[in-house]
Amino acid sequence: MIIGTAKETYRADAALLTTRPQQTWTGVLALVLIALPFTLNDYWLYLVCLMTINAVAATGLNILTGFTGLVSLGQAAFMAVGAYTVAWMERDLGTPFPVNLVAGGLVAAGIGIVVGIPSLRVKGLYLAIATIAASFILHFLFVHWEAVTGGNTGINVAPARILGTELVSYFGLYWIIMPITVLMVLGAANLFRTRIGRAFIAIRDRDISAEVLGIPLLRYKLMSFAIASFYAGVAGGLWAYFFRVITPDSFPFMASVFLLAAIIVGGMGTIIGALLGAAFMTLVPELLRFVMDWASPWLPNATVLLSPVRTIVFGLLIIGFLVFEPQGLAEIIQRVRRFFRLWPFRT
Amino acid sequence: MFRMTRRAALGAVAGLTLAAGPALAQEEEIVIGASLPLTGVFAFAGVAIESGLNDYITLLNEEGGIDGKPVRLVYEDTGYKVEQSLAVFNKITSSEDVHFYYGDSTGFAKTIGPEIERSGDMVLAGASFATELNDPEIHPHAFITGPDYSEMVEILLEYIAEESPGATVAMINSDTEFGRDPIERTKAKAEELGLDIVLEIVTAPGAVDVSTEVLKLRRSRPDYAIFHGYVLAPLPEFITQAKELGLETQFMGTFWSMDSKQWADVGEAADGYMGVMPYRYYHDTAEDAPMLDKIREMRGVYQHSGYMQGFLSAMLMTEATKRVMASGEELTGDTLKAALNSIQDFDTGGIIGVPISIPGNSVPVGRVYRFDAAAGEMMPVSDWITLGD
């Protein structure tokens, strides 16, 4: 059982990492993240990068949906806005990639604010429909604004460059994707130690009460949309450098559902939930491939026969988590932490 | 108690190496990688393509493989999603020595294109017939087993120009990358052949209500209407409504909307539907098609036209590999592509009814078929048309 963690200052009490084990494990995680690209092959590195990009987008959506209570099914469209902005700047302006990424985030944030306006009037499913409408309008623009988006053919993106070196391998890309993700996630974690983050939570819990307490709903709801879209825009920008081609089909409506599923499975309203959800949604279908590989010596043509089963099992796993762990994967982590924190006493 | 000494350890390692030696020697084989859509919207084609690829490889291996080396297809399901296709590509190429890769979509081919060119290790074939892949300058290591989408429409236009010079034509395309692919080239070719494009319709993806489009068709009354960018829906609806309005327009389509079985399931409305097909159908009993006899021997039931595409892809990929190995060169993207381009007047065993050549990235050959509802089959109405002849 952890004892002796009494805090003497408010600052210490509000710190992100309050206990020694937390600090140690975070240090271990940092070391693992540094060691990862040296130990993984291209396949796993690809998955880690993809998962990390999804984690940024899911963290953004979690700020909006998990922390502010505003349901959105337009996150993938905002990713597309970021991706197209980056691709367009890379092609037509030739600006350096950090500038493009920030611009991608800002443009997405700007559009997020506009899309967020209905949130002042409608909530829940109604808002979800409004965001779907926005994503269809954006899709129409991607297809028909050919001068900027390249229409159906899309845009080929030149590789990101650092000091004249082109980042084309997953190893190289990891070193921009992972640090940016860490920064974004730390930013999100810190956001909820500030007045803004607490205002979001107050709005989620009861918006009328929040307004009575002096939180301007207009400003904070739109701010939440802006921040969530900024995250999506940056994630889209990273996606553009990662895949290096963008078409209107790159970010289908189902990608928004994927991100919403990620935060629900991971745990809404927790920072770690978005990370776990993104990891679950990206990695589990791939891990199920290995289960099929094990079956192949016994079952001829296992890949053809078992591929639909893989999809079904993935669906069942999601349903299973919703039924047996409605608080998401984050709750499992909490339970494990509680177990060690209180050991040898029972939770 | 057993104690591991240095000598014992060395002995164990040597023993293991000896034991593994023959196994390693046996593993010398030719691996073809593939991202196949075995689930999702394109699963019908993915499953057929897998059968085609694997059947040809089985036949080849029964005859001793390539230079005594067996060929093996390593593939995984992609769900027809580019991200998963890439994951599969990385998984397979991380663990196998692959020089030919079969991709599942245009999106995948475009995304992996720069990596294929950068590594220079392999040639990319696949289920996409996208026109933009048929540019050896931009995609020197890409290969299309058949005509590209623009060439498919051009084959149809050549047929129309031959049958009814100066005919009027309507273009009906889905509003997707796939659908819009051949539009520009269609217009250019029509002008060249003296055909008149009187109507251009672009339908929203997934559109089911086509009544307004059919009315447009009635106003312009074209002799021919060419669909592209669809598999089946909304074609039967379109054709039925047009027939009800008394239109005598001849409807046509391209490869993915030309499977015989899918039109047989549509029934009477399908009668007379025409289109271009680069390969013979499963039921074709032409005398010069021994390979089709073998296919019918292996598979007792009708195989989707995707099967023929997979079968021929495997044939051409392994033929190129055979040629490179015979010349003693290393298997790389460049040598394999050069070997593909060296294929001239090649006999496909009747999968395609004429000897084929691969001048660039595609095999620009096709034949026009018409669906006969009474027979429940696609019937050839033209000879084989080779573009550029």
> B51 and B61 share a domain?
yes
Mean pLDDT of B71-90: 94
For residue B41, pLDDT beyond 90: no
Residue B312: which CATH number?
3.40.50.2300
Under an 8 A CB cutoff, do B93 and A42 touch?
A: yes
Cα angle, residue B65 at apex, residues B124 and B37 outer, rounded to 5°: 40
Instruction: Please report residues of B whose CB lies closer than 8 A to that of A153.
Output: 132, 177
Distance CA B205, CA B203 (A): 6
Q: What percent of chain A has pLDDT over 70?
A: 99
When comparing pLDDT for A15 and B73, which is higher? B73
For residue B282, pLDDT beyond 50: yes
> B311 and B345 share a domain?
yes
> B226 and B153 share a domain?
yes
Between residues 105 and 164 of chain B, which touch chain A (CB distance below 8 Å)? 107, 110-111, 113-115, 118, 132
The partner residue sitting opposite A303, judged by closest CB among B76, B93, B107, is B76
- Say if B180 is an interface residue toward chain A (CB within 8 Å): yes
- Cβ atoms B48, B295 nearer than 8 A: no
> B374 and B228 share a domain?
yes
When comparing pLDDT for B153 and B389, which is higher? B153
Establish whether this prediction's ipTM goes over 0.85. yes
For residue B389, pLDDT beyond 70: no
Consecutive H or E run containing A20: helix A20-39
> B137 and B25 share a domain?
yes
Burial B268-292 (b: 16+ CB within 10 A, else e): ebbeebbbbbbbbbbbbeeeebebb
**Which one of A149, A152, A168, A281 makes the best mutation probe of the B interface by having the most chain B beta carbons within 10 Å?**
A152
Under an 8 A CB cutoff, do A308 and B114 touch?
A: no
> B166 and B206 share a domain?
yes
The partner residue sitting opposite A46, judged by closest CB among B75, B86, B95, is B86
> B270 and B297 share a domain?
no
How far is CA B66 from each of CA B124, B145, B355, rounded to the nearest angstrom?
A: 20, 20, 22
Under an 8 A CB cutoff, do B90 and A308 touch?
A: no
Instruction: Please report residues of B whose CB lies closer than 8 A to that of A245.
Output: 107, 110-111, 113
> B213 and B154 share a domain?
yes
B230 φ, ψ to 5°? -130, 160
Distance from CA of B122 to the nearest CA of A (A): 17
Instruction: Please report residues of A whose CB lies closer than 8 A to that of B180.
Output: 151-152
Q: Give the model confidence (pLDDT) of B289-303 as tens digits.
A: 999 999 999 999 999
Instruction: Please report residues of A whose CB lies closer than 8 A to that of B177.
Output: 152-154, 247-249
- Say if B77 is an interface residue toward chain A (CB within 8 Å): yes
Mean pLDDT of A235-251: 94
Please give the distance of CA A42 from its chain centroid, rounded to a whole number.
22
Under an 8 A CB cutoff, do A247 and B107 touch?
A: yes
When comparing pLDDT for A332 and A7, which is higher? A332
Number of domains in chain B: 2
> B226 and B114 share a domain?
no
Please give the distance of CA B234 from its chain centroid, rounded to a whole number.
22
- Per DSSP, A167 falls in state E
Mean pLDDT of A259-265: 95
Determine which of A283-292, B68-77, B90-99 has the lowest per-residue pLDDT on average: A283-292
Mean pLDDT of B122-133: 94
**A166, closest residue in chain B (CA to CA):** B118
> B338 and B373 share a domain?
no
Nearest to B142 by CA among B344, B309, B341, B365: B341
When comparing pLDDT for B280 and A22, which is higher? B280
Q: Give the model confidence (pLDDT) of B228-254 as tens digits.
A: 999 988 999 999 999 999 999 999 999
- Where does residue B297 rank: exposed (0-12), middle (13-18), buried (19+ CB within 10 A)? exposed
Mean pLDDT of A40-65: 96
Q: Give the model confidence (pLDDT) of A154-193 as tens digits.
A: 999 999 998 888 898 999 999 999 999 999 999 999 999 9
Question: Domain of B305?
Answer: 1-147+282-358
- Number of CB atoms found within 10 A of residue A332's CB: 14
| Model pLDDT, residue B21 | 40
> B353 and B371 share a domain?
no
Q: Give the model confidence (pLDDT) of B328-384 as tens digits.
A: 999 999 999 999 999 999 999 999 999 999 999 999 999 999 999 999 999 999 999
Distance CA A209, CA A202 (A): 8
Q: What percent of chain B has pLDDT over 90?
A: 84
Distance from CA of A295 to the nearest CA of B (A): 14
Q: pTM for this structure?
A: 0.89
**Which one of A79, A304, A309, A313 makes the best mutation probe of the B interface by having the most chain B beta carbons within 10 Å?**
A304
> B308 and B270 share a domain?
no
Residues in Cβ contact with B87 at an 8 Å cutoff, skipping those fewer than 6 apart: A43, A46, A47, A50, A286
| Model pLDDT, residue A1 | 67
Distance from CA of B87 to the nearest CA of A (A): 6
- Say if A152 is an interface residue toward chain B (CB within 8 Å): yes
Under an 8 A CB cutoff, do B47 and A152 touch?
A: no
Distance CA B153, CA B385 (A): 12
- Where does residue A316 rank: exposed (0-12), middle (13-18), buried (19+ CB within 10 A)? exposed
What does the mean pLDDT of chain B come to? 90
The partner residue sitting opposite B111, judged by closest CB among A47, A143, A243, is A243
| Model pLDDT, residue A347 | 58
